[in-house]
Structure 1
Amino acid sequence: MLLSIIQGIFKTKTNISELAKRAKAGNEEVMNDLLFASTPFLKKTATFVCKRAIDEHDEEFSIALDGFHEAIMAFDPTETASFQTFAHLIIKRRLIDYIRKETARTEKWVLLEPDPEQSSGQHFILDEKSIHTYTEKQQSASRKEELLHYKKLLKEFNLTFEELTKSSPKHSDARKTAFQIAQIVADSKELYQYLLDNKRLPLKQLESLVDVSRKTIERHRKYIIAVVLLLNSDFIFIKDYVRGEII
């Protein structure tokens, strides 16, 4: 079982989705083998989020492993287009939460530079209120920086925030459908590369992959492109902010 999983893992969406369903249904052998065989995927995702190499000895890897298990237990193929994309999102959320908690904990022990007028060279620990203010300022600066980069990225596709506000699907079902299409594009190297190279959606290919009309895809084209770019970015603050809307 393990060998077959390793050979086929993530090569086809149907395969990994079926394995996830079997693991969720209580097949412990499939669950254990799937967790083990997914080690490269977990390392890659954790490394992407943490922006440094992650291996099995790091706490972040354990967080990623727990997130992957959570994704298996929460996965619903009728709700999510791709298990791999779904697992990727869950792992990133858990790692981001972990990083934020660790950052807040560490900052409680940040020391100020010693006052040169004090012969003792005494250091002072920042109080909780100062820490909170500092953290909020840092996060605010990071959010602004992300928004600037995202705005610049959208401009390459002739999109603006104003246009997205007007063109975003108004009904939840339409948003869900558009987001699932975006997941498919973001999850496919071929489709995503087509988008980057041509600055437009691969409509012909998508028509054969989704159960919606070409007209529907074109109607939500701007929204889908914006979501694809966001999904395949490392804009963690923007993703966290819009999680309730599109993620």
Structure 2
Amino acid sequence: MILATIQGLFPKKQSKNDLELLVIQAKEGNEEVLNELLSSYTPFMKKTASFICKRYIGEQDDEYSIAMYAFHEAIVHFEHDKNASFLTFAHLLIRRKLIDFIRKEARRKEISLGQMTSDSEIESSSFSILESSHSFEQFTATQQADERKHQIAVYESLLKPFGLSFQELVKVSPSHEDSRKTAIQIAQLIVETDEFYEVLQTKKKLPIKELEELVEVSRKTLERQRKFIIAIAILLKSDLHYIKDYLKGRMS
């Protein structure tokens, strides 16, 4: 069901490396390449918007204009050394922009949006993955130690149903920085896509087939990084800010 929904979401006109080379050229001011990207990836923008809004989005819809603006912004802000995949980065940015638009419209019309992502999930920065919203500078050394122990215990309880532990997380972290960034982006995509997160929670496994189509990562890579992706997804969904800070330092 999910696979049928997202198939065709990402055009395969260029390989990942070729596409990102074009993105860099557009970012550096090549207007011809920029216009070609915006034209060639119109189906991607419409299908991404339709997937997020759960209805057909055409070029006449405001949501399409927002998706195109977000795609253009993704080109402007894309950094190859920080964003492992341009299409995944663009998908996440389009999603955030559309959700923000839908929420503003809902507040204006005073409509309930019970099915949308909570404010705490969409108000995070568009360009960071593991970030902390709490400062622990005010804690004493003892308080920090107590808080760390408490959050590790909570995290352990969240990981246990998946057969994982906190101690395993750093061990299973991909050794190469690009691979680690890609895995974290995949975890973020799972957290931000209700269908994917539901599969993770109910079946206690990754939606491998769907992710393979969406993020252009091989099945072998997804299976090899399975534990790490699951652990990061669970962490991103939590409010364990101390652990997020700790792991951000250990895995940078």
CA change 1:167–1:15 in 2 (3 A) is farther
The 8 Å contact of residues 181 and 210 in structure 1, kept in 2 or not, is answered as yes
The match for 2:200 is 195
Measure, in 1, the Cα distance between the counterparts of 2:141 and 2:65: 43
The alpha-carbon deviation at position 164 of structure 1 amounts to 3.1
Deviations 1:179-238 (A, max 9, x none): 111111111111001100011111111111111110110011000100000000010100
Instruction: Please list, as runs of the form range in 1=range in 2, the aligned pairs for 1:196-235 lying within 5 A after superposition.
Output: 196-235=201-240
Structure 1 gaps of 5+ residues are: 1-6, 26-32, 50-63, 76-85, 105-133
Q: Is the 8 A contact 1:176 1:246 kept in 2?
A: no
Match of 1:96 among 129, 134, 142: 134
Aligned to 2:28: none
- Deviation of residue 245 (structure 1)? 4.6
How many residues end up aligned between the 2 structures? 164
What is the aligned counterpart of 1:174 among 176, 179, 185?
Answer: 179
- CA spacing shift, 1:197–1:15, aligned 2, 3 Å: farther
1: CA distance between counterparts of 2:118 and 2:217? Answer: 32
Q: Provide, for residues 43-87 of structure 1, a one-character-per-residue CA deviation record: whole Å limited to 9, x for no partner.
A: 9445x79xxxxxxxxxxxxxx6xx75xx4xxx4xxxxxxxxxx4x
Whether the aligned pair in 1 keeps the contact of 2:148 and 2:242 (CA below 8 Å) is yes
Shift of residue 163, structure 1, vs aligned partner:
3.3
Relative contact order, CA 8 A, sep 6+: which one is greater? 2
Structure 2 CA distance for partners of 1:158 and 1:140, relative to 1, 3 Å: same
1:21: Cα distance to partner?
5.9
What 5-or-longer segments of structure 2 have no aligned partner? 1-48, 55-62, 77-96, 108-112
Instruction: Give me the identity figure in percent.
Output: 39
Residues 243 and 14 (structure 1), Cα distance of their counterparts in 2 relative to 1, 3 Å cut = farther
Which residue is 2:164 aligned to? Answer: 159
How far is 1:23 from its partner?
6.5
The answer on whether the counterparts of 2:152 and 2:166 sit within 8 Å (CA) in structure 1 is no
Counterpart of 1:142 (choices 137, 147, 150) is: 147
CA distance in 2, matches of 1:14, 1:145: 45
Hey, what does 2:7 align to over in structure 1? none
1:17, distance to aligned residue in structure 2 (A): 6.2
RMSD: 4.0
